[in-house]
Amino acid sequence: MLVQRILTALVLATAVILAVFQLPAIYFSLFIAIIALGGAWEWLALTGVDQIGKKLLFLAALVFPMLGITFWTVFLEVLGEAMEWPEVKEYSDALEWFVIVPVLFWLLAMILIRQAAPQLLKMEYKPKLKSFIGWMVLLSAWMFLSKLRSFYGPEMVLYFLILIWTADISAYFVGKKWGKDKLAPEISPGKTVQGMYGALASAMICAIGLRVYYGFSALESDGAELAVLMSIDLLILSVLTVLVSIYGDLFFSLVKRIKGVKDSGTLLPGHGGILDRVDSIIAAAPFFYAGIVLIGRSVFE
């Protein structure tokens, strides 16, 4: 089972990395849109939506905003270049304010899962609420991962993915070796506090590694103190992003536990479904993007 899991992970990682670096930004958006729609199909199954009409309506509710955001962004970029009108960027940047919604949602989810997991399992959730949550988290993950690729380049997307993947691997092996205190036993008995610490430690290593890779020379004109400050910001963002990703995983585990299933699907051998592989990324993408915007792009150039 472990060998199958590793082989599937290697194939998936290779495909994603090739997409990150080889596809133009708009085609990368299409690539992750397909993944998001596959995850949406699994979400509908997890939340008990069986009617084909409602499923198609939900998918359409994702597709149309994706198309609208894509064409709006492209239109503004073309218009700004053609008319030499820099103010156009302000209209494009206005979309970034939507990141507040998913960031607040995932922070609230973290608090509730940490403090009231048993109560969450017993609650009754209205179908409209479940649909809205699924729509919001999938659309926002697609949107801000696309914007990360478009505005900050493939290297930043790769760092984000390595951050999440390394945390996932570290949590698994550290938890397996030293795990004894359950993180959220009612939701996911396999996850431990020690595994979480291992994931957070890996985030620190990733941040330090990225800073060493880029070096401080790019910031010499701004002074060493600013370089150190921005490096600390990156480290904090990386750790918090991994923390959000862990609770994103737990959130989807909560949904599966309520449904009474182990996996969201069977598409990926050794891993389950699409949501089983991208749950952490869905939660972490908006948070990471918001943090990068706040830190400022110059620290990575």
Q: How does pLDDT run along the chain (301 residues), one tens digit per residue?
A: 567 777 877 888 899 999 999 999 889 999 999 999 999 999 999 999 999 999 999 999 999 999 988 877 665 555 555 555 455 455 556 667 889 999 999 999 999 999 999 999 999 999 999 999 999 999 999 999 998 998 888 999 999 999 999 999 999 999 999 999 999 999 998 899 999 999 999 999 999 888 777 664 444 444 444 454 467 888 999 999 999 999 999 999 999 999 999 888 878 776 789 999 999 999 999 999 999 988 874 444 4
- Provide the CB-side half-sphere exposure for 226 (13 A, CA): 12
For residue 184, list its beta bridge partners: 188
DSSP string for 237-298: HHHHHHHHHHHHHHHHHHHHHHHT-S-S-SSBTTTBSHHHHHHHHHHHHHHHHHHHHHH-GG
Q: Any idea where the domains of the chain sit in the sequence? A: 2-300
d(CA 49, CA 56): 11
Query: pTM for this structure?
Result: 0.89
| 173, 198 contact by CB (below 8 A) | yes
Closest among 61, 67, 40 to 146, alpha carbons compared: 67
Centroid of chain to Cα 20: 15
User: Rounded to the nearest 5°, which phi and psi values hold at 262?
Assistant: -90, -40
Count CB-CB contacts under 10 A for residue 122.
9
